[in-house]
A and B are shown apart, each in its own frame.
Chain A
Amino acid sequence: MSKMINVENVAKHFTLHNQASMTIPVFEGISFFLNQGECVALTGESGSGKSTFMRMLYANYICNKGSIHIRHNDELVDIVKADPHQILDVRKRTLGYVSQFLRVIPRVPTIEIVAEPLIALGQDKEQAITKAQDILARLRIPERLWSLSPLTFSGGEQQRVNIARGFIADYPILLLDEPTASLDAVNRQTVLDLIEQAKERGCAILGIFHDQEAREAVCSRTFDVTQFQSV
């Protein structure tokens, strides 16, 4: 089984220059790996740095020490040292990320937002739109909303748009930040099914699940970040 993510001895702190240059340590000495086809749950109490760690894997946050290798086009790329072009390419082809926030340009229809990752990969626009329709229908976003911007949607609907966008492109690696957080039971089950399907095709998944039942249903092991918290 090949390692899709390999983290070695990573440290993170925030320095707040405008607040007396206070340094906030987050964690130190994290080593972690994620294999192809497995789903691992990131655990730890609120504020322990789960989302921070996930954002570091996505290169959204800078890493102060260590290395984070991502398997990209059959090569290991250290995204701590990679230039912006490489990082954008890793995100485009390899690494999907479902965050808790939806950030989109106002006015752009939901269907286009969901289809965008496929179009960026060079897929035919019509095919991409068809696939977007399928996944939106599966996640029970009513068809009359597809042509509207998701900015006016409810929290749960926005969450599902984010999920649709994350799962549409069959990325080899997925990072999921509370994918089932504001969903009802039926939609929650759909997301868990999507995760199972992604695992079957070999996708490596790292998720934050507050919902213990969901966690136990899809994850084969847990990784607790609390043990690496800096004092």
Chain B
Amino acid sequence: MTSSNQTLSPEQTLLSVKDLTMMYGSRIGCQNISFDLRPGEVLGIVGESGSGKSTLLNCISAQLKPTFGSVSYHTRHDGSQDLFADMSEPERRFLMRTDWAFVHQNPRDGLRMGVSAGANIGERLMAVGWRHYGNIRDTATDWLGKVEISTERLDDLPSTFSGGMQQRLQIARNLVTAPRLVFMDEPTGGLDVSVQAKLLDLLRGLVQNLGLSVVIVTHDLAVARLLSHRLMVMKNGHVVESGLTDQVLDDPQDPYTQLLVSSILQS
């Protein structure tokens, strides 16, 4: 597969977030958040429940319109575009079906449970204009293999799959259209540790081989360490610390990050 980031050099910015604030009435979802993401870069967002991680992820993936601030994405054809100021709803939806992917914590939110595994993968291909049934089926079979699901299960419903298999199917469904940017919300949450390890290995391989840019929200610091280049630590809707992943985890400066890092159980 060829790199999907042909138009951008590694030093350019794929996604740029500036002063983003999301208010729920008078309550703060997240406030004054700015960062840039480059092609091939993995950004981890960590913090406890209610710290605003998911709100931020929903805003930058255009599922939630922020109260203030901007999110700009470097589109393939028109250069950098503000998601909310420059693009229409249909344009944003098109982006979500093609250039972007969203991996939900609960695979049931990202899969269509009423159709077969193959149809789940094929649907995204059809959304970008694939029509040849044989090609779609071959590609779906190929992707089942990539995420280590037996190809005999192509015609089975996802509801007959285990949780770990459903999560891998969701990843296949999302990555089949060769997106450039993937948003992940706790992709390894709720899975037992052996399945987690398998998924981590899979994600790492896909990120490296496809040159994906990823924003990954997790409360698992070990997952963040193994997958992300840079880390943002959130608390009460604010970013309290950010930087190189190993620097933030090994020499945390902020009181909250220190608490988070020192609270990990040793196994």
| Min C-beta distance of B16 to chain A, whole Å | 14
> Nearest Cβ distance between residue A85 and chain B, in whole angstroms?
7
Query: Does chain A have a CB within 8 A of B180?
Result: no
Q: Is the CB of A105 within 8 A of B258?
A: no
**Interchain CA distance A102-B2 in the complex, whole Å:** 32
Docked Cα-Cα span, A63 to B229, in Å, equals: 20
Chain A residue contacts of B230, Cβ below 8 A: 84
Q: Which of B96-104, B111-119, B244-252 contacts A (4 or more CB under 8 A)?
A: B244-252
Residues of chain B with a CB closer than 8 A to A55's CB: 250-251
Contact string against B for A residues 32-67, beta-carbon threshold 8 Å, 1 for contact and 0 otherwise: 000000000000000000000001000111100000
- Which residues on the A side are within 8 Å of B198 (C-beta)? 107
CA distance A85 to B230 in the complex (A): 9
Known A-B contacts A84-B244, A106-B197; the reply to A18 vs B255 at CB < 8 A is yes
For A104, the closest partner residue in chain B by CB is: B226
Chain A residues near B253 (CB, 8 Å)? 15, 62
Asked if B247 and A60 make an inter-chain contact with CB atoms under 8 angstroms apart, the answer reads yes
* Residue from A15, A88, A108 within 8 A of B201 (CB atoms): A108
Q: A60-B251, A105-B197, A105-B226 are in contact. Are A87 and B204 (CB under 8 A)?
A: no
| A108→B204 CA distance, assembly (Å) | 10
Measured between C-beta atoms, what is the minimum distance from A112 to chain B in Å? 9
Contacts of B226 in A (CB 8 A): 103-105
> For residue A16, which residues in chain B have a CB less than 8 angstroms away from its CB?
258
B32 at the interface (CB under 8 A from A): no
Query: Are A18 and B247 neighbours in the complex by a CB distance under 8 Å?
Result: no
Name B247's contact: one of A14, A15, A17, A61 (CB within 8 Å): A61
| A105-B201, A106-B201 known; A84 vs B229 contact (CB < 8 Å) | yes
> A60–B262 contact, CB under 8 A?
no
CA distance A85 to B38 in the complex (A): 9
* Chain A residues touching B, majority SS: loop
Does B124 touch A at the CB level, under 8 Å? no
* Beta-carbon contact of B247 and A62 below 8 Å: yes
The answer to whether B247 and A105 have CB atoms under 8 Å apart is no
The answer to whether B259 has its CB under 8 Å from any CB of chain A is yes
Residues on A with C-beta less than 8 A from B235 are none
Q: Is B65 on the interface with A (CB-CB < 8 A)?
A: no
Minimum CB distance partner of B250 in chain A: A60
The chain A residue with its CB closest to the CB of B244 is A84
Give CA–CA (A56, B231) in the complex, Å.
19
**Bound state CA distance, A116 and B251, in angstroms?**
25
User: Is B246 touching A60 in the complex (CB atoms < 8 A)?
Assistant: yes
Give the CA-CA distance A14 to B255 in the complex, in Å: 12
Contact A62 B197 (CB under 8 A): no
* A105 contacts across to B, CB distance below 8 A: 197, 200-201, 204, 226
**Least distance between A88 CB and chain B CB atoms (Å):** 6
Chain A residue with Cβ nearest B251: A61
Which residue of B is nearest A52, CB measured? B251
> A18 and B204 in contact (CB under 8 A), knowing A61-B251, A103-B225?
no
B207 to chain A, nearest CB (A): 11
9 intermolecular pairs with C-beta atoms under 8 Å apart: A18-B255, A55-B250, A60-B246, A60-B247, A61-B247, A62-B247, A88-B244, A107-B197, A108-B204
6 A-B pairs closest in CB distance = A17-B255, A106-B197, A84-B244, A61-B251, A107-B201, A105-B226
Binding site for B on A (CB under 8 A): 14-18, 55, 59-62, 84-85, 87-88, 103-108
**Sample of 17 more A-B contacts, CB < 8 Å, known A61-B250, A61-B251, A84-B244:** A17-B254, A18-B259, A55-B250, A59-B244, A60-B246, A60-B251, A62-B251, A84-B229, A85-B11, A85-B38, A88-B229, A103-B225, A104-B226, A105-B197, A105-B201, A108-B201, A108-B204
